[in-house]
Structure 1
Amino acid sequence: MKTSRRSILMGSLAALLAPVAVRAQTAPPALAGSELPPGLPQPDETIDLWPDGLPGGENPALTETVIERSRDRLVTDRAVYGITNPRMAVFRPRKPNGAAIMITPGGGYKWVVVDKEGYEVGRRLSALGYTVFVLFYRLPNEGWQDGANVPLADAQRAMRLIRARAQDYGVDPERVAAMGFSAGGHLCADLGTRFDAGVYEPLDAADQLSARPFLAAPIYPVISMTAPNAHPGSRALLVGEDADPKREAAHSPDRNMPEGAPPFFILHAEDDPVVPVENAVLLRAALKAKGIPVETHLFAHGGHGFGLRKAVGKPVEGWLDLFLAWAQAVGFANRY
């Protein structure tokens, strides 16, 4: 079902009129005792997705843990797992352009990357006027009852909350996009194809809103859950190593393409040694078969997980400019 301006605006009004208790929000993931590099703004604003408790009252015995993978004290490369309080870290621009982007970082569904595919992209986009929400979503193999759908439930809820609070951020509730990387690219594509899937029971007025993004931008994404194209680690953690063909298909976005999917921007490197480029090709083919607008960029060299920092000095370095130009062409926002 396509996003309806009337449904979004009416839903936003309902959400605004509903009584909302003032609650302290959970701080962004942090590494205790660590000294952060100077000159890198850290988000201090978050939005809890489930302030009244997780759907179904689930409460696995998890401890949120942040690790530092970088050996350079001037460059952080944190990752977080054991997330029981999924939330968004917010990057507000000085001059909002009215468009918002929700980022789902990668991490192979083993953890969620904080810096490389989260904060670094968030800072760059917010400097250009976009309001950015970096989503720290629950991981599928950490004891949740419906583990394979837990990341999607968080992504749907996040999109709806952004729209419900659009007025607070100077955002047009229609112009909310999704961007994701690697396994986060799978989540981005899953949201772009299964935005209407009932993966949790509605809780409040925000859940009356559409979870369909204005556009979806999966970057070097995991797509297929079927060998030989599946990323083994993501597949094992999302659907299980013994998943049958039906379960594989249910969680492969290329095999769940609806007529009303949003426009897609797909980018991948052909020499990716982790996630085969065929994932991007399969997704593009599925979009074309349904007549969904799609922009695709395949680079000969780039590898995997380049984000912004590892793209420097390579032809793929300009990938964000390509995205911004395309976003302008489809009416999402001005480039600058």
Structure 2
Amino acid sequence: MSAVTATDITVEHITFRNADMLWDIAADIYLPAGFDAAGSYPAVVTAHPIGSCKEQTAGNIYATRLAEEGYVAIAFDASFQGASGGTPRRIEDPGQRVEDFRRVVDHLVTLPYVDADRIGVLGVCGGGGYTVNAALTEKRFKAVVSVTGVNYGRLSRDNAALAGGPLALLGTIAQQRSAESKGADAAISASLPPSAEVAQQIGDVDVIEAFDYYCTPRAQHPEGTATFDVAHGAATLGWDAYHLADVLLDQPTLAIVGDKQGAFGAYRDGHDLVARAGRDNVRLVVLEDVSHYDLYDQPKGAGKALDEHIVPFFATNL
């Protein structure tokens, strides 16, 4: 474990392995100013977007701010991604992503300074969809926040149109997996355009701003590559982040989206979540003149979401 100080909070870089795991999870724990290891603190787990890592928006924006508000916040890398273990690399498997949330909570409850009855969860983009899905069956989470949350199963099926539809893509994945079983090299797919010019030609706000976020000094990180292992991509096509939300989502839940709609579909997924949950304690907030990536790190997006909605929400529900 190592520690660094950022403004008035402390960030501890840790790895841990639970009894059911064959690899380590890497995480950053953000501790509030004046932290007292003998004290008792509410905690929030923060989950990174698809193709991202703990150092980006989940950590440097949301976990940082929550620690400044007095929470213990833990941003973690998904298994097979970032600094966490697991091979092959760059796997995006919804079942594993959701199980990682349980593993993080398993670790949190062993920390004497964490109040196990006051643990919340927050996820960004695909991490927001995973956050909701984890909360369906992980009741140690007492409050749930999805920030520009994307149902990655729905997005995967939509994107499959470029490959001839979901069934055609599943056939391609099956062929690649068989080839790799016989010794072929792994195939990696990239979800970002190769240049800003190509992004502009595509013309979609989410695509343009995705390139700006991941591929420029604004936020680029070696582990935030938005690339994926092809042979292990089948599970996403049969997954639905909000399945049984009407039956199992009983925690107070806040979904925040911007009104600038793009190809990734967070706006419609936010409305879909609230409609499917059908509960008064599952609430949607739509921020005006805000895009998907404004909610990653921009004052009018992430800043406003935190100031006006997320901080008050956790204060009330944790």
Q: TM-score, normalised by structure 2?
A: 0.63
Secondary structure of the corresponding residue to residue 256 of structure 2:
strand
AA of the residue aligned to 1:327: F
Following TM superposition, by how much is the alpha carbon of 1:279 offset from its aligned partner in structure 2, in angstroms? 0.8
SS of residue matched to 1:102:
strand
Deviation at 1:285, TM superposition (A): 1.3
Change (3 A) 1:159 1:230: farther
Structure 2 stretches lacking a partner, 5+ long: 161-190, 192-225
Letter in 1 for 2:96: V
Instruction: Provide the residue aligned with 1:21 in structure 2.
Output: none
Aligned to 1:16: none
Q: State the SS of the aligned residue for 2:312.
A: helix
| Aligned mates of 1:228, 1:175 — CA distance in 2 | 34
Q: Does 1:256 align with 2:244?
A: yes
Match status 1:120 vs 2:61: yes
Report the aligned-residue RMSD.
3.6
Distance 1:49 1:152 in 2: 17
Q: Tell me what 1:180 maps to.
A: 123
Q: Is the 8 A contact 2:129 2:150 kept in 1?
A: yes
Match for residue 85 of structure 1? 24
Which residue of structure 1 lines up, in the alignment, with residue 108 of structure 2?
A: 162
2:180 — aligned with what?
none
Matched, 1:104 2:43: no
User: What residue number does 2:167 align with?
Assistant: none
Letter in 2 for 1:301: D
Identity %: 12
Q: Distance in 1 between matches of 2:103 and 2:58?
A: 21
Residues 176, 213 of structure 1: 8 Å contact kept = yes
Partner of 2:269: 279
**Residues 1:213 and 2:151 are matched in the alignment:** no
C-alpha distance in 1 between matches for 2:301 and 2:13: 35
TM-superposed deviation, 1:87: 2.2
* Paired AA for residue 270 in structure 1: D
Higher percent of residues as helix: 2
Bigger strand fraction: 2
Question: Aligned partner of 2:115: which letter?
Answer: D
The answer (yes or no) to whether the contact 2:155–2:264 under 8 Å persists in 1 is no
Which residue number in structure 2 is paired with residue 135 of structure 1?
76
Whole-Å separation in 1 of the counterparts to 2:10 and 2:61: 11
- Give the TM-score, by structure 1 length: 0.60
Aligned partner letter, 1:305: Y
The number of aligned residues is 242
Tell me which residue corresponds to 1:325.
312
Which letter maps to 2:104?
A: A
Which runs of 5 or more residues in structure 1 are unaligned?
Answer: 1-24, 29-35, 58-83, 196-210
- Which of the numbers 36, 42, 45 marks the counterpart of 2:12? 45
Q: Is the Cα contact below 8 Å between 2:123 and 2:145 reproduced in 1? A: yes
Corresponding residue number in structure 1 for 2:259: 270
